[in-house]
Amino acid sequence: MRNVTYSMGVSLDGYIVGPDGTFDWTAPDGEVFRFWIDEIRGVGVHLLGRRLYETMLYWETADQNPSLDAAEREWAALWNPLPKVVFSTTLTAVQGHARLASGGLAEEIERLRAEPGEGEIAIGGATLAAEAAALDLIDEYRTMVYPVLVGGGIPFFPRRERRVDLELVETRPFSSSVVYLRYRVARQPAR
């Protein structure tokens, strides 16, 4: 069965976007960007909320920009053909290899897990991930922790009173003081 992963950049105090709505502190250096390129290779489908979808629209035409470097071109070449499912109550159409979700999050994930295919089901966006977490649908949490305290904003982890035990799977420090942490949800065996 395909894993559901939630992976984003996060401040040390736990936010993906600061109180002013910016996330410029997550701009990756070459080493971190290379890591994201390698990670996207393992994704079979990406689920996005409206805000992240609109942010990532840049990549739909970025390959036409002559100033893109080789790594950015590689990212665009991997991102653009990747199937995407967008969850939005306001959008009526999406571009590229994206489609609007036709059902709820649980139904979409159940359908995607049942379909033949390779690669993970990646979730992007804190609001969508909070819904998936509340439904116990996330198998792995992956954080790229940036050395900054932003003091508030949109949290990476949902603020619910629910305990989730995690198993550390991988850590990786980068020369820029960014640290990657990968945790698997520790599930109790079915009785």
**Using CA atoms, how far apart are residues 107 and 155, in angstroms rounded to an integer?**
25
Pairing of strands 43-49, 15-17: unpaired
Mean predicted confidence (pLDDT) in 32-50: 95
Average pLDDT, the chain: 92
| CATH of residue 143 | 3.40.430.10
Is 191 within a domain? no
Mean predicted confidence (pLDDT) in 19-41: 93
Is 80 within a domain? yes
Mean predicted confidence (pLDDT) in 50-74: 91
Of 31-40, 153-162, 179-188, the one with minimum mean pLDDT is 153-162
Confidence of residue 79 (pLDDT cuts 50, 70, 90): very high
HSE of 144 in the Cβ direction (CA atoms, 13 Å)? 20
């489609």: which residue's tokens? 99
Mean predicted confidence (pLDDT) in 42-51: 95
Of 73-77, 83-87, 92-96, 157-161, the one with minimum mean pLDDT is 157-161
Query: How many domains is the chain built from?
Result: 1
Is 190 within a domain? no
**Using CA atoms, how far apart are residues 100 and 130, in angstroms rounded to an integer?**
19
pLDDT of res. 10: 95
Is 155 within a domain? yes
Confidence of residue 117 (pLDDT cuts 50, 70, 90): confident
Q: Which domain holds residue 65?
A: 4-185
pLDDT of res. 190: 59
Is 140 within a domain? yes
